[in-house]
Amino acid sequence: MPAGTYWWCACGRSKDQPFCDGSHKGTGFAPKKVELAEAKIVAWCACKHSKNAPFCDGTHKTV
């Protein structure tokens, strides 16, 4: 990922996964702000169960 600010979708409703598109409004969920100071490889969590959200920790293997 290039350096920059990202908003990770926490609700699972976004059509722009893994990033927020505002679909969480009214759900009680809120996106998580991620700031990358430099370009790096990132494994974004897609299952929404990671204990290390917004990053994958392998939890999807047991969900």
pLDDT of residue 29: 96
Q: Which two tokens stand for residue 46?
A: 């897609």
Q: pTM to 2 decimals?
A: 0.91
pLDDT of residue 14: 98
SS3 content of the chain, % helix, strand, coil (to 5): 5, 20, 75
pLDDT of residue 55: 98
pLDDT of residue 12: 96
Collect all residues with Cβ–Cβ distance below 8 Å to 61 and sequence separation of at least 6. Answer: none
Q: Hey, where are the domains in the chain?
A: 1-63
Instruction: Check whether the bond before 31 is cis (ω within 30° of 0).
Output: no
pLDDT of residue 57: 98
Per-block mean pLDDT, blocks of 10 residues, the chain (63 long): 98 97 97 98 97 97 94
